[in-house]
Structure 1
């Protein structure tokens, strides 16, 4: 399938889901979701795969086992591309009634990855590289965030100009393109491609300095 934009029916579908997050609404509107949301997102990431690698589309169902919010369906459709063998650093895209969200970086790091991340931030070569890249992204309108400690971890210089980066346990950058007519056409593909390219240096730093975890991950 060729990507030709996101049909307006898909955004209207999510507006309705936000108002009525129920199995009744979902069952009645499932065909719209399949053709106007999931299929265009799949076509989008397929078009990006030659440059960024294959992407995984997330399931539309929420995991409500440990949540007070028991609404069953996500009000967005996301997809993530994780380069094989790189361990840390991924690209993300999401469509919702708000518009199109793009992001990149690392959303979850295991303890061994966090330790390598901190050592790299404290390094006199790699640390300034990350500082410059984070500052560049922030100046370009990206929201740089992630899970953070309230204090700099022990053993690191609290006066370091990279103290805020040392507090991170994960690091990612994102931005939201609010609803606009270009979402309905092929220009949306180029918007995502350009945005993902802008995140390449951040993902490369994470891959080179953090890499994959060596821990055995417990699955729930």
Structure 2
């Protein structure tokens, strides 16, 4: 995503604004305070997305309005900001700033149908050992494995004592990291942390794109 500015951090008011819109998620608040979003929330987010694009590909910046077409009960405005990059194989890398701090997530948010079958076949076979190694490397770099939805037991046909039973039972695979809000958000540091985490997740990204391509 092209950008005309250099990322130098979010101003302190960005986190304050996100905290306030979480407490007052109304059209009245948004209309009265949108100038703060336009000045201090979106521009740095766009700049960070632009700084990541050369290495990771286009990064889509999240819109402030929620799509309520299928979820009419959710709040109308996002209480965070961030961006998402998607590989050709369908794996997502994201960064999200909220009142709590900055977080990154990398992986697949859900396996279903053919993708779930491909994932389980890969984990059960020799490629599963490669995934374990990739996850170990990610953990050593400070990334945690998200406790994504899993069924109560390993899939039918797999022994319960399979060495990768916990991975087989998963219906999603995501890794990530999070850092609490602080003055560092107003510096260049967020760019270094996001890029560093995304790089550390590369072995997992490559495994997913190879073994469970989204268009496969």
| Superposed pair shares fold, TM > 0.5 | yes
Question: Which residue is 2:165 aligned to?
Answer: 163
1:102-141 maps to which residues of 2 (within 5 A)? Answer: 102-124=104-126, 126-141=127-142
Q: Distance in 2 between matches of 1:62 and 1:148?
A: 27
Are 1:190 and 2:192 counterparts?
A: yes
Q: Does the CA contact (< 8 Å) of 1:106 and 1:172 recur in 2?
A: yes
TM-score for the superposition, normalised by structure 2: 0.91
Quote the offset at 1:143 in angstroms.
2.9
| 1:2 to 1:135, Cα distance in 2 relative to 1, 3 A | same
Tell me whether 105-114 or 188-197 shows the greater mean CA deviation.
105-114
Q: Distance in 2 between matches of 1:23 and 1:68?
A: 15
Residue of structure 1 aligned with 2:77, choices 61, 73, 89? 73
Tell me whether 65-74 or 179-188 shows the greater mean CA deviation.
65-74
Quote the offset at 1:159 in angstroms.
0.8
SS of residue paired to 2:20: helix
Q: Distance in 1 between matches of 2:178 and 2:32?
A: 29
Q: Does the CA contact (< 8 Å) of 1:94 and 1:100 recur in 2?
A: yes
Tell me whether 156-165 or 127-136 shows the greater mean CA deviation.
127-136
Residue of structure 2 aligned with 1:30, choices 30, 34, 49? 34
Quote the offset at 1:103 in angstroms.
1.2
Q: Distance in 2 between matches of 1:5 and 1:133?
A: 31
TM-score for the superposition, normalised by structure 1: 0.89
Task: Kindly provide the CA deviation profile for residues 45-89 of structure 1, in whole angstroms up to 9, marking residues without a partner as x.
Answer: 111111100011222223345548442112111311012x223x2
SS of residue paired to 1:206: helix
Q: Distance in 1 between matches of 2:6 and 2:25?
A: 30
SS of residue paired to 1:133: helix
Q: Does the CA contact (< 8 Å) of 1:60 and 1:73 recur in 2?
A: yes
Measured on the aligned residues, the alpha-carbon RMSD in Å equals 1.7
- Unaligned runs of at least 5 residues, structure 1: 215-220
Residue of structure 2 aligned with 1:176, choices 168, 175, 178? 178
Residue of structure 2 aligned with 1:212, choices 206, 210, 214? 214
Q: Does the CA contact (< 8 Å) of 2:154 and 2:166 recur in 1?
A: yes
In the alignment of these two chains, the number of paired residues is 211
